[in-house]
Structures are given as structure tokens and as C-alpha cells.
Amino acid sequence: MAHTDTQEIRELAAMPGEPTHRGFESLRPIGTIESKIFSHIDPRPIVPALGAEISGIDLSRAGPAAREELKQALADRKVLVFPDQDLSPHQYADFLKIFGTPVKEDIAVDENHPPEVGAIHTRPNEQQQINYWHMDHSFRELPTRVLSLYAKLLPPAGGDTLFASLSAAYDALSDEMKERIEGLHCDHRMTPTQNTKRRYTKEQAEAMANAPPIVHPLVARDPGNGRPYLFVNVPIYCRGISELPNAEGDALLRKLYRHVQRPEFHFRLIWRPNTVVVWENNHTLHYPVSDYFPHERKLWRGVIEATEADRPTAAGPRGRI
Ligand SMILES: [Fe+2]
């Protein structure tokens, strides 16, 4: 049998024109979780790149010390998963306040909920159309900082959500690529999606789509943990590189956007009833899987807007601060 070397296998497995990679060795250690500084919660890393599952806590009873540690765990791990929570809408709203000030929801608000608790509701025979890696609201000067979902009604199978670490993706870039993208900026602009018509009037959506782009650094520094992250988003929002001609910028952005999608940087959350998830939207990408038509799915949702302290700022040379 002919010998096929490992590099050849990688090239066969890659998309045409896509670089191959021998694996990632630069993922950083788990930080405070490894240091075991937590005494009121017990976060278990989900994958090295991001995520922690926190069992054994009743979120309706989390005291000040536990709430402080939850904030730290989120800054560290970017996505926190809490199985088996039994929260009323008001208790869920109170949980959201750990991470900032929840905003009044504007998507499918249930009239029995406090205004901060909305819902992502896919009705029977309705197809969920958002099924791509993205960050919410990168076209705003201050992209939404934290998002949370709480599973209330799930299909028999499917409807999972994937999360990817933009810091881990940056760390794994080659030195050449880090040098190439240093100091660059991206043009972010809103494009209407399935949720736009629920969220904005037609006039508002058109005004946003026609507004000048919001410019963010391509490599930014995470104020929560000081790490650089690759600030890319789905091409419908992240439209080009400010300093490069369109074709060159688009090609580079697509390469980086595909790079973030490597499994080494993500995990897949398989929802169970009453699982609560909270994540830093502005330092991660998420992918809602649309594979459960014609079934119904309903998740409560909370949104924490960013403050000025969260404004994306450029990282220094090679991602240094
Ligand atoms: Fe989203």
C-alpha cells in the first residue's frame, strides 16, 4: 500500500486554496481556573480554547461572592454553561444583572416577562435562517458585550449552538500573518437578517444599512483578560479592510473568517431543557445550527450592552498590549 504522508492528508482534507496546519500548540493555559482561585463556584473547562460548565449552583440563590466569581469566570472562559436551572423570568433577569445592566429586549418579548427578558422563538414550520458563524452587532461602535439564552422549549434533537474563541484564533496565527494584519481595521456595516424585521422598522433598517461603516481594529485587546483577539465577523457585517483594496481585503478577511471556524477554537453546546448560557458576544463568534425544521424551539434571551470601557481598541505589535 502506497504511503501517504501526513502533510498530504492535510492538503487533501483542506478546501482548495486553504492553508494547511500541523496543529495548534499555542493555546494558552486555562488561567484562573487552573489556579483554582474559585471557592464559591466550580467551573469545569469545556475545551481548552473557551467555555466552562458550572454545576452545583442555584442561580436564584447566588450570593455576592459567587456573583463576583461568575464575573471573573466569564472574563476568563468567555462562555458559561449552567445545566438544570429553575428560574422565573424575574429571577433570570436578576441573574443577568451579575454581568451588567440588561437592556429592554425588543425581540419577541413575552408579555408576562420583565422587559429585560426576551425570547428567541422559532415557531412550528418556521425555518431558522441564521446558520453561520457571527457576532451580534459588530456594526455598532460598542458591540453588545454579553448575551444569554435559557432553554425553555427544544426540538427532539438539534438546534445546537456553537461558540468560537477569537483569542485562541489569534494566538494560532503564524507570525507572518500576525505581522501582515497588524494595525489594520475593518469596515463593519449592518445587513438585514431574519431578525431585522422583528427588531427595527423598515426605515430604521435602511438607514443603518446605508450609514457609513463603523471602523474597528482587526486585532483588538480584550479589556477583561488583556489578551489580543481577532476581530472578524461574518462577511454580511464585516465588509472589508479599511486600508486595503476591496478584492485584497475581502480575500484576507475570508481567510481569517474561515480560520476562526477551525474546531480547535470552538465547542458545540447541545441544549438540554433549562440550561442557561451566558457568553461574551464581543470576544467570540457563535453559530446557531438550523437543523430542526419543522419543530419549535424557544429560548429566553437577555442582552447586556457594552460600556465605553468595552470599546474595541487596537492591540499593540504582534498582539502585545
Ligand atoms: Fe446571534
CA of 260 to the centre of ligand 1 (A): 16
Tell me, in angstroms, the distance from the centre of ligand 1 to residue 2's CA.
47
Q: What are phi and psi of 94, to 5 degrees?
A: -65, -40
**d(CA 227, ligand 1 centre) in Å:** 23
CA of 275 to the centre of ligand 1 (A): 18
Give the distance (Å) from ligand 1 centre to CA of residue 6. Answer: 37
pLDDT at residue 25 greater than cutoff 60:
no
pLDDT band of residue 23 (cuts 50, 70, 90) is low
Do 302 and 93 touch, CB atoms closer than 8 A? yes
Question: Which phi and psi (to 5°) does residue 259 adopt?
Answer: -60, -45
Q: What is the Å distance from ligand 1's center to 196 Cα?
A: 12
What is the per-residue pLDDT across 172-229, written as a single tens digit (0 to 9) for each?
Answer: 999 999 999 999 999 998 877 766 666 677 787 777 777 889 999 999 999 988 899 9
- Rounded to an integer, the average pLDDT of 284-300 is 96
For the chain, helix, strand, coil in percent to 5 are: 30, 20, 50
Report the pLDDT value the prediction gives residue 197, as an integer from 0 to 100: 67
What DSSP letter does each residue of 71-112 carry, written as one string? HHHHHHHSEEEE-S----HHHHHHHHGGGS-BPPP-SS--TT
In this structure, the chain runs to a length of: 321
Chain-centroid distance, C-alpha 2? 43
What H or E segment, with its residue span, contains residue 207? helix 202-210
DSSP per-residue letters across 213-228: PEEEESEEE-TTT--E
121 CA distance to ligand 1 centroid (A)? 13
Answer whether the bond into residue 212 is a cis peptide, omega within 30°. Answer: no
> What are the residues whose beta carbon lies below 5 Å from ligand 1 (ion)?
136
- Span 27-64, pLDDT tens digits: 555 555 555 688 899 999 999 999 999 999 999 999 99
pLDDT in tens, 92-144: 999 999 999 999 877 666 777 899 999 999 999 999 888 999 999 999 999 99
Residue 263 phi, psi (nearest 5) = -60, -25
Residue 281 alpha carbon to ligand 1 centre in Å: 8
> How far apart are the CA of 288 and the centre of ligand 1, in A?
7
Task: Provide the pLDDT for residue 144.
Answer: 96
Alpha carbon of 136 to ligand 1 centroid (Å): 5
Question: Do 47 and 66 form a contact (C-beta atoms < 8 A)?
Answer: no
Instruction: Give percent above pLDDT 70 in the chain.
Output: 88
**What is d(CA 5, CA 48) in angstroms, rounded to the nearest whole number?**
28
Ordered by where they begin, the domains of the chain are 37-319 (3.60.130.10)
Q: What SS3 class is residue 2?
A: coil
pLDDT in the model for residue 65: 95
